[in-house]
Structure formats: structure tokens, C-alpha cells
């Protein structure tokens, strides 16, 4: 019986750890009390033993083949691996033994296998994470994605930036109100407050500028590190210079003009040039509108895991069935467009940036991401020959000929079946499989539990075997005359 609690839809389980202080211990065999120093020494020795055993298990398994095998979740026979790491390693036959001269119980071995298994499983997760946002152009023209894509998230910095922006807008509105009240009066009582507000606006603007620079440095460093880890030779960026801050209202125009996209792009170019990675920009037209696998128009809707979040972050393709975050589809389109239009790359004379100015329709038709083969745990059940024929049987196995048709009513022989002919509704147990041990429930006296009138099993009695069954063994032979 499993001790794990059943989780409802949308719930997840987490393991919490609490720090504790061990002050003394007791030896079970001799009831000897151990001080805190001796206990720490013994616990440290056991921890070092487990770490050494885990390291000896990881050394021969730290390769792509074994890591992929464990991450696939199936063994060599196609069976699903257990969720516990130590059980999965034992299913695969990856065992470990303590050093020579040391004898440990199975719990220590399980601890070492669990530690090694979690490390191997996290290796696959880290490999998928570091390969995020990478695409490769093959010799035959196919473009494949090397990872599922990653996002740089700075929720805390963005929340602070949002608070500072709202505070700056409030200060500017208050300053404009004071300026309207003061007018041309140089001796107005609000002149002092207006000066204080102007100093506070400058301080808030300085804090926002420093925060934007820190955010741009962190985002650029993350993007270049991802490219270095994936072994990329070029970084393709979306050209958002056409995103002008006008015609959208005063407040929205101010927010767009204060975006840090330009700073991020400049720092990415600077950091990428240090490691020899080229940076090119591609047109941003329809990068989040068309499917990255078939270029069909996408339908945008709310994300299934965030139904209350405003915006249409989820994209679904009705042509090929692809669906995902619209930003995840956009980076695939950007990468495929850049790899396909490499011959159209030029250098801007004014800034020296490498750009792709326009999109060629004939090349854009080939700028698709080839979907990877889906991993399935089911074996191939495709037909390799004709279906085996089945013998037709006019009646059930224990009745080789159909019953004759009887008159309409309860009189005469009832037709084939288990229920009475005058019943419009079948009894509760009439759908059960009934064999030669089936008897009808008694109508008077004791009513067995679970039986229904006219159909059902008696829980305490069985019918005698039929005549055609094997005769019972003779238990009286060889005993002599009866007394």
C-alpha cells in the first residue's frame, strides 16, 4: 500500500526540509550514550561513505547514453521506470558496493543510489536548459531545434521597476498640478514643495536608470552564456526599431520610450564580440503570427495554466497541431528566418550592425522548424498481415444450439438467457458471468448476501459437478471393510 497522498487536479507535491540539532545518540546494542562530538564524527563518516559510493556509481555512468536512458523513463524491456531514483537504478542493473572491508546495510546503499540517480536525472534537465533557444541548419536544408527554449525572467527587478515607474508618473502629475497653481507667481507658497518634488523626480529617475542598466547587463550576460554553452556561431535578434512610441496615448508612449531593449541589444553585441559570436537582426514581421512548423496562421488564446492572466500568451496551430507559448514560437521563427536568409545578411553603414533588411518569399517558405520525433512508451502495433479469422458461434459455449422460440408470455420454455421473460428490467446481477456453478436465489427463508431473485451467485453453496465431468477419486479403496 502506497503512503503517498493522492493529489487533486492542479496540485503538486513538495518536500520540505527543516534544520535540526543532534545533541546525543544511543548505541542500540550496548545502550551507550554518545556525545554530540562523537555523534557528529560518526554521522560525518557515514555521509562521506555515501558520497564516495555515489561518486563511484556516477563515474562509469556519466555519459550521454546512460543519461538519456535514465531520462527516457523506460528500461530495456519497455517498462516504465519507478519514480524513486534508487529503484530506477536497480531496475537498470546499476548497482554499487561499499569499499573493501566495510559492511553496510541496504539503507546506506539506497542512499547512495538515490543521490547518484538524482544527479543523473538533473544532468538531463540541465542539458535541456542550456540548449534552450538553439537551432541548427543541416546540410540538406532542414532546420531543427536543439532545445525547448528558455526565458530570462527577472520578476523581482521588473516589479521594482514597475513601482518606480508608477511613483515617477505620480510625481510628474503632482508637479504639473503645482505648476498650474503657481503660474507666474514667484512668491507662491507651493514653490518650496515644487522644488522638493523636482529633486525627488531626479532621484527616482537615477534609480530607474541604474536599474535598467543592471537589467540589461544581466539579460545580455544570460543570452551570451546560453549561446556559448550551446556552441552557437551566431545570435539572431528581432528588429524592433519599427516599434515607435507615438499615437498610443501619453502614458503608453512614455512607457515604450523607456524600454531597455536597445540597451540589451547593445550589450549582447559587445559581449558576443568578445567570444567571437556574430549578432544579426531579422525583420520582426509575423514572427508570432505564423506557426514555426508549417507557417500557418496561429490562433491566440489565454494560457491554459494561467486562465486569469490578461493577454493572449498561448498559440495553437490548427494545421499541424503545434501549440505553446507565443514567445516560444516566435524564437523558432526568428532562428529559422535568420538561418534561411544568411545570404541576405548585410552590414549597416551607420552603426556597423549586421542586419537582414527584408524577407524573401521563396526563402521564407523553407524557414520552418522540422518537428522532432515524439518519444512514446507504447510498442509499434502496426498490422503486418491479414487479421486472423474468428469462428462464428450461433450460441454460447455451454449451449451448442439456440433455444426454440416460445410463446409470448410466461408459459412454455423460456428463451436463451438468464433472466425471466416477463421482466422488463434485468436484475441487478444479471450482467455477471454465470457458469455451471450458478443457481437461483431461494424465494423463502434465508436470502444470501449479494444474490438477486432469478440471477446471481450464492456465496455459500455451489452446484454439483455435471455428469460429464471427471469422476471423483475413490478414497475408500485400500482401507478394508467398514466396521
Give 314-337 pLDDT, tens digit per residue. Answer: 899 998 888 888 888 899 999 999
Average pLDDT estimate for 53-81 = 88
Q: What is the pLDDT of residue 122?
A: 84
How many Å apart are CA 296 and CA 251, to the nearest integer? 35
Give 182-221 pLDDT, tens digit per residue. Answer: 888 878 888 889 899 999 999 999 998 899 899 899 999 9
Q: What is the pLDDT of residue 434?
A: 47
By the 8 A CB rule, do 84 and 114 touch? yes
- Give the pairing type, strands 33-34 and 25-26: antiparallel
Q: What is the 3-state secondary structure (H, E, C) of the chain?
A: CCCCCCCCCCCCCCCCCCCCCCCCEECCCCCCEECHHHHHHHHHHHHHHHHHHHHHHHHHHCCHHHHHHHHHCECCCCCECCCCHHHHHHHHCCCCCCCCCCCCCHHHHHHHHHHHHHHHHHHHHHHHHHCCCCEEECCCCCEEECCCCCCCCCHHHHHHHHHHHHHHHHHHHHHHHHHHHHCCCCCCCCHHHHHHHHHHHHHHHHHHHHHHHHHHHHHHHHHHHHHHHHCCCEEEEEECCCCCCCCCCHHHHHHHHCCCHHHHHHHHHHHHHHCCCEEEEEECCCCCCECCCCCCECEEECCCCCCCCCCCCEEECCCCCCEEEHHHHHHHHHHHHHHHCHHHEEECCCCCCEEECCCCHHHHCCCCCCCCCCCCCCCCCCCCCCCCCCCCCCCCCCCCCCCCCCCCCCCCCCCCCCCCCCCCCCCCCCCCCCCCCCCCCCCCCCCCCCCECCECCCCCCCCCCCCCCCCCCCCCCCCCCCC
Half-sphere exposure of 364 (CA within 13 A, CB side): 17
Neighbours of 327 (CB within 10 A): 14
Distance set, CA 329 to CA 293, 334, 452 (Å): 9, 9, 61
- Locate cell 546506506: which residue? 108
| Nearest Cα residue to 281 out of 268, 295, 294 | 268
- Locate cell 507658497: which residue? 189
> What are φ and ψ of residue 47, in 5° steps?
-65, -40
Give 246-287 pLDDT, tens digit per residue. Answer: 555 666 655 555 667 788 889 999 999 999 999 999 988 888
Cell numbers found for residue 106: 541496504
By the 8 A CB rule, do 289 and 297 touch? yes
Kindly give, in sequence order, each residue whose CB lies less than 8 Å from that of residue 71, ignoring residues fewer than 6 positions away.
Answer: 121, 124
Q: What is the pLDDT of residue 1?
A: 45
How far the first Cα of the chain sits from its last, in Å, is 55
Give 425-474 pLDDT, tens digit per residue. Answer: 544 544 444 444 444 545 555 555 544 444 444 444 555 555 555 555 55
Q: What is the pLDDT of residue 455?
A: 45
How many Å apart are CA 131 and CA 125, to the nearest integer? 10
Q: What is the pLDDT of residue 251?
A: 63
Give 341-400 pLDDT, tens digit per residue. Answer: 998 999 888 878 888 988 888 888 888 888 765 554 455 566 666 776 666 555 554 545
Categorize the per-residue pLDDT at 128 as very low, low, confident or very high, splitting at 50, 70 and 90.
Answer: low
Q: Phi-psi category of 72—alpha, beta or left, where left has phi over 0 and alpha has psi -120 to 50?
A: alpha
How many Å apart are CA 476 and CA 472, to the nearest integer? 12
Q: Residues of the chain with pLDDT > 90: what percent?
A: 23
| Nearest Cα residue to 332 out of 373, 366, 371, 369 | 369
Cell numbers found for residue 200: 525627488
pLDDT of residue 180 exceeding 50 = yes
By the 8 A CB rule, do 395 and 401 touch? yes
Q: What integer best gives the mean pLDDT of the chain? A: 78
Quote the longest CA-to-CA distance of the chain: 140
Please give the radius of gyration of the chain, using alpha carbons only, rounded to the nearest integer. Answer: 38
How many Å apart are CA 219 and CA 154, to the nearest integer? 9
Amino acid at each position: 500500500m502506497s503512503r503517498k497522498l493522492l493529489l487533486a487536479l492542479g496540485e503538486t507535491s513538495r518536500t520540505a526540509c527543516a534544520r535540526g540539532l543532534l545533541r546525543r545518540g544511543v548505541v542500540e546494542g550496548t545502550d551507550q550514550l554518545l556525545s554530540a562530538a562523537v555523534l557528529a564524527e560518526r554521522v560525518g563518516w557515514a555521509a562521506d561513505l555515501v558520497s564516495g559510493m555515489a561518486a563511484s556509481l556516477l563515474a562509469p555512468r556519466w555519459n550521454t547514453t546512460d543519461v538519456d536512458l535514465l531520462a527516457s523513463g523506460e528500461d530495456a524491456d519497455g517498462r516504465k521506470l519507478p519514480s524513486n531514483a534508487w529503484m530506477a537504478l536497480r531496475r537498470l542493473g546499476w548497482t554499487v558496493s561499499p569499499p573493501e572491508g566495510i559492511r553496510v546495510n541496504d539503507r546506506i546503499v539506497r542512499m547512495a543510489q538515490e543521490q547518484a540517480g538524482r544527479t543523473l536525472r538533473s544532468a538531463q534537465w540541465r542539458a535541456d536548459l542550456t540548449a534552450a533557444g538553439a537551432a541548427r541548419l543541416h546540410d540538406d536544408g532542414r532546420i531543427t531545434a536543439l532545445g525547448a527554449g528558455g526565458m530570462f525572467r527577472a520578476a523581482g527587478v521588473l516589479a521594482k521597476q514597475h513601482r518606480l515607474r508608477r511613483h515617477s508618473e505620480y510625481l510628474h502629475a503632482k508637479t504639473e498640478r503645482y505648476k498650474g497653481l503657481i503660474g507666474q507667481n514667484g512668491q507662491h507658497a507651493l514653490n518650496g514643495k515644487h522644488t522638493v518634488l523636482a529633486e525627488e523626480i531626479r532621484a527616482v529617475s537615477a534609480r530607474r536608470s541604474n536599474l535598467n542598466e543592471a537589467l540589461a547587463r544581466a539579460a545580455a550576460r544570460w543570452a551570451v552564456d546560453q549561446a556559448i554553452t550551446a556552441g552557437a556561431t551566431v545570435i539572431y535578434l528581432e528588429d524592433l526599431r519599427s516599434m515607435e512610441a507615438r499615437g498610443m496615448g501619453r502614458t503608453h508612449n512614455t512607457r515604450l520610450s523607456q524600454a531597455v531593449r536597445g540597451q540589451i541589444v547593445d550589450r549582447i553585441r559587445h559581449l558576443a564580440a568578445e567570444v567571437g559570436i556574430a549578432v544579426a537582426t531579422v525583420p520582426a514581421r509575423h514572427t508570432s503570427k505564423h506557426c514555426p512548423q508549417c507557417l500557418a496562421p496561429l490562433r491566440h488564446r489565454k494560457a491554459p495554466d494561467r486562465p486569469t492572466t490578461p493577454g493572449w500568451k498561448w498559440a495553437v496551430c490548427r494545421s499541424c497541431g503545434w501549440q505553446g507559448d507565443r514567445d516560444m514560437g516566435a524564437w523558432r521563427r526568428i532562428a529559422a528566418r535568420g538561418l534561411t536568409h544568411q545570404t541576405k545578411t548585410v552590414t549597416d553603414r551607420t552603426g556597423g550592425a549586421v542586419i537582414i533588411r527584408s524577407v524573401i518569399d521563396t526563402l521564407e517558405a523553407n524557414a520552418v522548424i522540422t518537428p522532432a520525433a515524439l518519444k512514446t512508451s507504447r510498442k509499434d502495433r502496426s498490422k503486418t498481415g491479414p487479421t486472423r479469422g474468428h469462428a462464428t458461434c450461433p450460441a454460447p459455449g455451454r449451449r451448442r444450439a439456440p433455444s426454440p422460440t416460445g410463446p409470448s408470455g410466461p408459459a412454455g420454455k423460456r428463451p436463451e438467457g438468464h433472466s425471466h421473460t416477463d421482466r422488463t428490467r434485468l436484475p441487478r446481477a444479471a450482467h455477471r458471468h454465470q457458469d455451471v456453478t450458478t443457481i437461483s436465489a431461494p424465494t423463502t427463508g434465508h436470502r444470501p448476501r449479494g444474490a438477486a431473485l432469478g440471477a446471481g451467485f450464492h456465496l455459500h453453496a455451489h452446484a454439483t459437478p455435471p455428469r460429464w465431468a471427471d469422476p471423483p477419486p475413490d478414497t475408500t479403496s485400500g482401507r478394508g471393510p467398514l466396521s
